[in-house]
């Protein structure tokens, strides 16, 4: 199974309040089309189990502002066990690149339990990379990140605009990653929403005119780090 063709993209992020979300959602809904994962409700559910090494390097690289870095995760959409992705999101300077490989449910469960040997015979470079990191750096479960995503796409410059709502964080010990109702902790008490804009080269002007940000100044927001920090605070209180 071949990995995705390498393509570096721009990514902008912003935490907006709920009133801003309602306004922007209405505008984009009138101008753009929804992406293919969208359910009848207008959203779809995303769950990511992030992996990190014994030194939590992915986490500390991000919060320290390391320019070039990677993070690894298992991703599910609508908790569908037939569509499981192993992903690496790489940041190089101010651009991002994501590569993925499909996992079977058995492979997913193996990784969750710490048995990365399920990847040993997989030939994809990503699978081999993750298997090597598990052996050399002790790659392990880090944090579960859940949210409802509302996504819009525009063909020119491959623009993708997403609103990530109801952000929740969860631990992983003894949890069923395919159970949409497993216990997780809400992150934003005032229903804030994470707005993300991804594109190849430029954002069309009619889109930038609607955005409440200066597209020349990317904002550093990481759902992975936010959830990891909040979950750690919660566990310390307990």
User: pLDDT per residue over 52-87, tens digit each?
Assistant: 999 999 999 999 989 899 999 999 999 999 999 999
Distance CA 83, CA 36 (A): 14
Residue 74 near residue 109, CB atoms below 8 Å? no
* Domain architecture of the chain: domains with CATH: 10-237 (3.20.100.30)
Those residues with Cβ within 8 angstroms of residue 27's Cβ, 6 or more apart along the chain or in another chain = 210
Band (214; pLDDT cuts 50, 70, 90): low
Supply the pLDDT for residue 4: 44
Band (1; pLDDT cuts 50, 70, 90): very low
Mean pLDDT computed over every residue of the chain = 89
103-123 pLDDT, tens digit per residue, is: 999 999 999 999 999 999 999
SS3 track for 113-175: CCCHHHHCCCCCHHHHHHHHHHHHHCCEEEEEEEEEEEEEEECHHHEEEEEEEEEEEECCCCC
Sign (positive or negative) of CA dihedral 26, 47, 193, 61: negative
Buried b vs exposed e over 130-149: b needs ≥16 C-beta within 10 Å? bbebbeeeebbbbbbbbbbb
Band (127; pLDDT cuts 50, 70, 90): very high
Residue 48 near residue 60, CB atoms below 8 Å? no
Distance CA 199, CA 8 (A): 9
H or E element at residue 194? strand 193-199
**Number of Cβ atoms within 10 Å of the Cβ of 85:** 16
- Sequence length of the chain is 238
Band (174; pLDDT cuts 50, 70, 90): low
Supply the pLDDT for residue 100: 97
Residue 45 near residue 178, CB atoms below 8 Å? no
Q: Is the pLDDT of residue 88 over 80?
A: yes
Supply the pLDDT for residue 85: 98
* Nearest C-alpha neighbor of 55 from the set 137, 133, 132: 137
Average pLDDT over residues 149-153: 96
Residue 16 near residue 212, CB atoms below 8 Å? yes
31-44 pLDDT, tens digit per residue, is: 999 988 888 888 99
């Amino acid at each position: 199974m071949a990995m995705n063709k390498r393509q570096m993209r721009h990514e902008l992020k912003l935490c907006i309040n709920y009133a801003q979300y309602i306004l922007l959602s209405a505008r984009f809904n009138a101008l753009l089309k929804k992406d293919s994962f969208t359910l009848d409700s207008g959203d779809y559910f995303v769950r990511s189990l992030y992996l990190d090494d014994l030194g939590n390097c992915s986490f500390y690289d991000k919060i320290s502002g390391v320019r070039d870095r990677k993070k690894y995760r298992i991703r599910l959409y609508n908790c569908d066990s037939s569509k499981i992705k192993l992903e690496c999101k790489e940041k190089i300077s101010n651009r991002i690149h994501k590569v993925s490989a499909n996992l079977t449910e058995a492979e997913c469960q193996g990784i969750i339990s710490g048995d990365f040997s399920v990847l040993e015979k997989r030939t994809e470079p990503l699978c081999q990379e993750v298997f090597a990191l598990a052996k050399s750096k002790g790659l392990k479960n880090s944090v579960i990140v859940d949210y409802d995503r509302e996504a819009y796409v525009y063909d020119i410059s491959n623009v993708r605009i997403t609103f990530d709502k109801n952000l929740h964080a969860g631990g992983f010990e003894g949890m069923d990653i395919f159970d949409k109702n497993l216990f997780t902790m809400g992150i934003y008490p005032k229903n804030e929403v994470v707005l993300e804009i991804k594109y190849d080269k430029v954002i069309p002007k009619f889109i930038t005119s609607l955005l409440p940000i200066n597209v020349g100044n990317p904002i550093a927001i990481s759902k992975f780090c936010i959830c990891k920090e909040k979950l750690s605070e919660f566990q310390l209180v307990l």
